Structure 1
Amino acid sequence: MEYMVITGHWIDQNWQLQKRVLNFVHIPPPRRGLEIADAIWRCLDDWDIQSKIHTVSVDNAFANDSAIFHLKTYAQRKKKLLCEGKLFHVRCCAHILNLIAQDGICEIKDIVEVIRDSVEYVRRSDARLLLFYEIVKQLNLSERKLVDECRTRWNSTYEMLSTAIKFKDVFSRFAAKDPHYDAYPCHEDWEKVENVCSVLEVFWDATHIISGSDYPTSNLFLNAVSLVKVLLDEKSLDNDGFIRDMVERMKIKFDKYWGETNLLMSIAAVLDPRCKMKALEFCFPKLYSSEKVEWEISFVRKSLHELYSEYALMYNDEGESRGQIQGGSSQGQSTSNVGILRESCYSFKKDNKIEKEFDVLEWWRVNSVNYKILSFMARDILAIPITTVASEATFSAGSRVIDKYRASLTSEIVQVLMCGGDWLRKRF
């Protein structure tokens, strides 16, 4: 049996980011896009939130593209979508980073296999571990522990490789003392691994930002993606032909998904009060060719004004019951609110990483009285998950519910256990 998890994401009245499992639903084969879309729509109908959906975040499976097409058609019959639906489909950034990083790891897959086998060989025996760490002590290395790998996660492979590099001299000495250990990386292999890890490190950093246990608001992603692009551009000029060829393939994958403006990431970055429109002026020259930068910035600016106009109309029409809008014309509000986005106070550390301690939601909570309509925009945009990591984490709990001793549970009981457990954990 295969299940699909549907999670809802929003920012509550106290400006706290919330996530709840809405459904843990069994979808029988063939699981085409239409069946997936129908299952999601039934869930929205059960919760009576069909008219409250702004976006749907999915991974990059082909069936999901078809599902989004059908869902968009259903949603447009219920209400007018924001920015004519340009924000409706959000592709999972973690999956895209994974696809690009896997292209890099694939270039050294034979070496990875040797290192993986070496780590497993040492860790499989207490006697071998003792011998290994005696050599570590002799070489006076600060690192003390090898790292296991989860083969389905590229970042786990990176962690294994980056740790193993620190023991490269240990492995060669270990081979001299253990006659049964005869397959270990040579000097040239370690050089290739070091070069690949130097590229993957920025992917690892970006993945940690995107996939944190307390998943971040969407304003952080544009800078993380631009740092990846900067690295790929730099490494494409590397003196090592092996690295140049590898990076060229990674850049093709990058451009496939991020060669055009990601509107959600861009608008979310602008709604960060440290960044505003300067976020685009800083990041876009790194992401796009010089002849495209101005057009891309203009596209985001136009979409931002279009989005603001929709919110101004929406909340002025609904009055104080929803927006608590003070008196005055919509045009005047537009001038004062959008004007703040033109100011610049982009705050970067020396390594070009946005300060993590800044709480963007707390800033908007404090300033929501001054920028009423913009605060409603920010509440909706910053709540949008740009990855499916929060949803995928539910399957870790699912494996504890649907184990070999509980395989006969009906899909309805599984749904109750998963959804009820998630809501109860958030309540207490």
Structure 2
Amino acid sequence: MDPFYGAPLRELVPAVIGVLVRRGAVFAAAEDAVQEALVEALRTWPADPPHDPKGWLVTVAWRRFLDVVRSETARERREVAVEVEPASGPARDTDDTLEVLFLCAHPALSPASAVALTLRAVAGLTTRQVAEAYLVPEATMAQRISRAKRAVAQASFDRPGDLATVRRVLYLVFNEGYSGDVDLAAEAIRLARQLAVLVDDPENDGLLALMLLHHARRPARIRPDGSLVPLAEQDRTRWDRDLVAEGVTILQSALARERRGELQLQAAIAALHADAASAAETDWVQILEWYDELLALTASPVVRLNRAVAVGEADGARAGLAALDEVDPALPRHRAVAAYLHEKDGAHALAARLYTEAAALATNLAEKTHLTRQAARLNSSLR
């Protein structure tokens, strides 16, 4: 990726799309036109940067849109009267990021399509970059994005937004992590910062805090060979303490508003892990209290599964296994948690078998490798 095509340029994308949509362009046509303007910016800006980058992008994108409209109307024997904003005039200082986020998180879209469209229209990534992040051919991703844009073509740009859906899409982007030449976790954090500024909602702050606290641990999470390092085994000196401090500060401010939500509670759990100087010093009793509150709020099977681990740490393996009995065994990672708790309880042969079964069910290569190694470690000790 050209180093000039960085976050400052991408940050302008949703605002420019917003200008075109408000002038009458449908979302899909506006997004296409802005992508073409970005390509032109890459070609010309390094040698001749504009004084008003947003105004330049608006002008070029609007002209690209008009070229398409005039071509289509010529074929259809119709005329469309439009007014072109002068290139020298400053762009209107309006931030349409939130509205574009709402469109990209449209309920008509699948989660994968919503994420792909968000990466194009809000993060400003090219189709090639999005395809590399998803490890699919560029043509496949282009078709996916085109279908997503058609699905939202009739959506109103001024409709009330579903913040919960927007947050869910951004967290999906964050969890894609890193692939190709784009750090999707960093992009998600950038967009979450924008959302927190645009909408005063403690759950938006909770999302940002959760991302920062997880991102802070990333340098210690993966070994050079690509395998996972469990939280208890991570080198905590490699955690980014500045990100931890920022995440905790944002979280504390959100919790103080007494409007607790799922993301704030998840961030509170992550903060307690980040606060512990070592795995042995983790405050599992308080973590369990947060899980109890989170479970009461969401009734989520995944939360119930994770809570079983916390019970096992706070009250002992037998108590954790009893809590696990209340969780649907068909749930992903159920066998992995069972293996961990049985190992903690001293049943190494059973734990090894469960680790092997969990590895066979894992869909993520890094997780599969980790679970296989856990099984091999226990089997080796049993000989």
Q: Taking structure 2 as the reference length, what is the TM-score of the superposition?
A: 0.25
Structure with larger RCO (C-alpha < 8 A, sep 6+):
1
Q: Taking structure 1 as the reference length, what is the TM-score of the superposition?
A: 0.23
Larger strand fraction of residues? 1
